[in-house]
Chains A and B, each alone.
Chain A
Amino acid sequence: MTTCRRAARSLAECLRINHHSKTYSIPIRAFASSACSNEVAQAATETVTPTFDPNTVTSIKGERTLMKTGVLPVGSRRRRAAVKTSDNIPFELLPYQCFQEARKVLMEDRQEKLELIKKERLRISNLLAADYSNKPNGEQLKHARLAGMRQHLEYLKIQADINDPLIKKRFEDGESDMTKPIYRYLADRKWRAHQHKLIVQRIDQLGIVPDLLPQFEPTAEVRMAFGKRVVHPGEFIDSRVSEMMPRLNVQVFDKGERLITVIVFDSDVPDLNNDGFTSRIHYMASNIPMSPTDTSLPFSHASKEDQLVHSWIPPFAQKGSPYHRYSVWVLQQESGKLNVEELRQLKREGGNLRWIQPKFKLDPIGVHVFRSIWDEGTAGVMERAGVDGADVEFKRKKIEALKPKQKARGWEARHAGPKYASLRKGRDAHLKRVVKKHTRGRKGGH
């Protein structure tokens, strides 16, 4: 039934398009479209390469061909299908009275909000000019008031645009301008709807928070990919995939340019001396400029002079060791540019975010996590990275039982003497034979 309907819909669309384009030639022959479609088919065969419009492409094939040329399709597929079938009349000219009346109401509201913004700006400038020195705790009071007023101003700015259908459309089409507060607000809201919850859950589940930092609340969206392989938070990544440097995408939602530091920690390095775990820094780069519009952060692009602190060591987990958690931290530099030479004094082994963070005044804003265990490729990865210990295998320590082993009882005890040695021998010999057979079978198998 649904397939029928789908087929019928496409047919109806086809007819409608024909109707639009050829009204002057065949106004009556709308349903008998056989001859007409033939013409269309011929025309299609003449044009060899079909060109896809990023605004209206709906087929997966078309999307792929577009993406290969470097053009991303606009918005969702459903939207593109809607655009394809509609006449694309701008909002102002849409012939729906109720819609237009509603738009008028929204415009009025916006004007009100703009007035309020103007008023609030004036208030702020007045407060800045006002003299609070003679009051008790004057400066503090002034700062507190200013902060509150600025917060309210930001709120008003968002309220002025939040109901604008055009802004909503642009945001959904991915044409948002992240320099404007409304788009940042919408992006933040979208992130908090799912991705933020997901990363918070992973931080909790994988014990990132008590192990690496006492507390942490992510405020920036961090996405990661090894080449084409997109990494979801907490995923197990093949060591061969993570051999090359990843590419980060950090979206901050507050305005302004800032410098950030990126550190990749392995927090599950086996420490045999202390019978515990230590951490290791796998990558560190500082002084990377970041803003809401400038989001891409490829690890390989860090300049060696003033950004790169520790170069990339591919993640490796030795055989038998429990899974390693690799956390990629994005930290905002509170005290401006950091001295890279000083940072290079940090040792890779045992590096701990708990004391690195306050020492260099780094404010954690985002994190991403992936995991790694020993796989077929790890030995090769370690060899290529020049890391020793590929032939080490971790095995569980044997724990002695609290009670001594019980003596043999019953039949076993009665037949333990030398009198029955032949009996045991026979049994052992049989066992040996079985073992031998097994080993031979294994050898032959290759």
Chain B
Amino acid sequence: MVLARLQQPLRVAITSIGRSGSSQICLHEALAQLSVRAPPTLTFVRHASHAQQGAVNKAKDGPGKRLGAKKTGEQYVIPGNIIFRQRGTHWFPGDNCAMGRDHTIYATECGYVKYYKDPAKHPKRQYIGVVFERNQVLPLPPNSMRRRRLGMVATKMEMPEVIETEPQIEVLADGQAVQVQKSTDKERKGEEGRTLRLRPGYMYREANWEIGRAAERAKVKVREFVPGDRWKAWRKSNARKAKTAEKKGLGRSVKAKK
């Protein structure tokens, strides 16, 4: 390949030698033409991959986030009004203000917005506060009483609805007053004459010991257990075995019926 490439310039050189008159100058020219020139160097590199994100292609300006003051100084606000939207805490909540999850400052009382600094509280921070009267000044003079507003109205307390079955108040031995309710429905067997009291857990029910005596009240009799009665134990265990055997024997047919 290299030889083939060299052949052409060589041929040209030889022919030019043949044509020229003065042999010396011609040789020089021929040699100059013979000198193989280096190819020009590349001015840029093209890599296989190119970064597409990040700072490579110049940071783009996103949409505006509408930050900044939403209420000016001395503007009237009501609780919940947003006063300042910010990233981070350029401003801190002062009197009657609070800071939201994204550092938004909002009012907690009705009043007039004040932007101020309080060197006694913090030397560098700037605060946003709300005062009740327009002429009031923030920060307060040191050690003065805080300004507080009740912001409430007195109403008559709503009593819980009167229940049809009037609860009787019964005073226990330890001086505690307890509401008592008697059920108007037809009483079930063994539940006659129950007195239901309002108990912890907000339930009208009997005391635990009274529940424990329910069987006794209903005159339910349980045959006494005789520890040494092997004859009865044998009968019972046989019966149990027979029952389980019967169940096993039925097996799938029971399920199929269902």
Residues of B within 8 A of A209 (CB): 143
Is A446's CB under 8 angstroms from B148's CB?
A: no
Residues of A within 8 A of B144 (CB): 210, 214
Choose among B76, B81, B148 the residue that contacts A277 (Cβ–Cβ < 8 A). Answer: B148
Flag whether A144 is at the interface (Cβ < 8 A): no
CB distance from A318 to the nearest CB of B (A): 8
Residues of B within 8 A of A336 (CB): none
Flag whether B229 is at the interface (Cβ < 8 A): no
Interface size on A, residues (CB 8 A): 31
Is B150's CB under 8 angstroms from A271's CB?
A: yes
Name the residue in A209, A214, A401, A446 with the highest tally of chain B Cβ atoms < 10 Å from its Cβ: A446
> What is the 8 Å Cβ interface bit string for chain A, positions 375-402, against chain B (1 contact, 0 not)?
0000010000000000111111101111
Within 8 A of A (CB), among B89-135: 110
Within 8 A of B (CB), among A263-278: 270-272, 275-277
Per the bound structure, the CA–CA distance linking A395 and B145 in Å amounts to 25
Per the bound structure, the CA–CA distance linking A264 and B9 in Å amounts to 117
Choose among B143, B153, B177, B204 the residue that contacts A395 (Cβ–Cβ < 8 A). Answer: B153
Flag whether A414 is at the interface (Cβ < 8 A): no
Residues of A within 8 A of B157 (CB): 319, 391-393
Per the bound structure, the CA–CA distance linking A398 and B186 in Å amounts to 48
Residues of B within 8 A of A215 (CB): 143
Is B158's CB under 8 angstroms from A270's CB?
A: no
Per the bound structure, the CA–CA distance linking A395 and B161 in Å amounts to 20
> What is the 8 Å Cβ interface bit string for chain B, positions 138-155, against chain A (1 contact, 0 not)?
000001111011111111
Per the bound structure, the CA–CA distance linking A446 and B205 in Å amounts to 11
CB distance from A107 to the nearest CB of B (A): 50
Residues of B within 8 A of A399 (CB): 78-79, 110
Is A392's CB under 8 angstroms from B155's CB?
A: yes
Closest to B147 in A: A276
CB distance from B205 to the nearest CB of A (A): 12
Which secondary structure dominates where chain A touches chain B?
mixed
Is B152's CB under 8 angstroms from A395's CB?
A: yes
Closest to A213 in B: B143
Closest to B140 in A: A210
> What is the 8 Å Cβ interface bit string for chain A, positions 396-428, against chain B (1 contact, 0 not)?
110111100000000000000000000000000
Closest to A320 in B: B152
Interface size on B, residues (CB 8 A): 27
CB distance from A443 to the nearest CB of B (A): 7
Flag whether A211 is at the interface (Cβ < 8 A): yes
Is A393's CB under 8 angstroms from B163's CB?
A: no
Within 8 A of B (CB), among A145-183: none
Residues of A within 8 A of B154 (CB): 270, 272, 392-394
Closest to B161 in A: A443
Per the bound structure, the CA–CA distance linking A189 and B177 in Å amounts to 48
Flag whether B195 is at the interface (Cβ < 8 A): no
Flag whether B86 is at the interface (Cβ < 8 A): no
Flag whether A227 is at the interface (Cβ < 8 A): no
Name the residue in B81, B110, B153, B164 with the highest tally of chain A Cβ atoms < 10 Å from its Cβ: B153
Flag whether A207 is at the interface (Cβ < 8 A): yes
Is A393's CB under 8 angstroms from B78's CB?
A: no
Flag whether A442 is at the interface (Cβ < 8 A): yes
Question: Known interface pairs A446-B181, A446-B204. Does A394 touch B81 (Cβ–Cβ under 8 Å)?
Answer: no
Closest to A277 in B: B148
Closest to A439 in B: B161
Is A276's CB under 8 angstroms from B161's CB?
A: no
Closest to A275 in B: B150
CB distance from A84 to the nearest CB of B (A): 41
Question: Known interface pairs A401-B78, A446-B163. Does A276 touch B150 (Cβ–Cβ under 8 Å)?
Answer: yes
Apart from A272-B153, A276-B150, A396-B151, list 13 A-B contacts with CB within 8 A.
A209-B143, A210-B144, A215-B143, A272-B154, A275-B150, A320-B152, A354-B145, A391-B157, A394-B150, A397-B152, A402-B76, A402-B78, A402-B81
- Going nearest first, the 8 A-B pairs with the smallest beta carbon separation are A214-B143, A393-B157, A394-B152, A446-B163, A391-B157, A392-B154, A399-B78, A275-B150
